[in-house]
Amino acid sequence: MNVLCLDLEGVLVPEIWPAVARRTGIDALNQTTRDIPVYDDLMRMRLDVLHRHDVALTTIRAVIGALAPLAGAEDFLAWARARFQVAVLSDTFYDFAKPLMAKLGHPLLLCHRLEVANDRIIGYRLRQADPKRQAVRGFQSMNYRVLAAGDSFNDISMLEQADFGVFVNAPAGVRERHPAFDAVEGLPALKERLAAAQEAEG
């Protein structure tokens, strides 16, 4: 049996932080891992912006609760679960992801945790260093073949470590800096590419 590792935001659900930017009117929160490759740099910027604008965790959760999965995401996951063990590897936080996971049928999610005080985000704790690569290595250490799909700079280590990696919905800037990976647009195209990779493996 193969394991399929998927990024969350931009692949199965909309990007969370741009949605928060639209709700709050804070343009700086539009930046994601598609724009800033170093995750710690991105999160430090976000925490500073949230602090300066006094944005409550309750506000962010309300935005997330109103989001719906991307078109076709539930059907794609149903297809994938019939063919692979499926794990979502994300740089989001459990505090954010719960309502989205419920809408996706509660797939396995490996992500991070927030530090919160008085309804304000004051910090965060990564699950481990280079978490997406390490998760793929963990599956491989159990003799699973790993296929992976993601859309951002923070997915590169996952795609590099996987036995098969592909970009889905990745912006041109990400694809151009990492031309070694195949790239598809949309979940139907991803389904076809994964099916072909599985068939080629035999």
Backbone angles phi, psi at 115, to 5 degrees: -105, 125
* Under 8 Å between Cβ of 130 and 157: yes
Element holding 121 (H helix, E strand) = strand 120-125
Angle at 101 between CA 150 and CA 66, to 5 degrees: 100
How far apart are alpha carbons 189 and 129 in whole angstroms?
31
- Out of 7, 91, 95, 155, the active site residue is 7
- Out of 9, 95, 151, 155, the active site residue is 9
Is there a catalytic annotation at residue 151? no
Q: Locate all alpha helices (DSSP H) within 73-126, ordered by sequence.
A: 73-81, 94-103
Residue type (1 letter), 77 = L
In the beta sheet, which residues pair with residue 89? 110
> Rounded to 5, what percent of the chain is helix, strand, coil?
50, 25, 30
Taking phi over 0 as left and psi of -120 to 50 as alpha, with beta for the rest, 104 belongs to alpha
Is there a catalytic annotation at residue 7? yes
Q: Active-site positions?
A: 7, 9
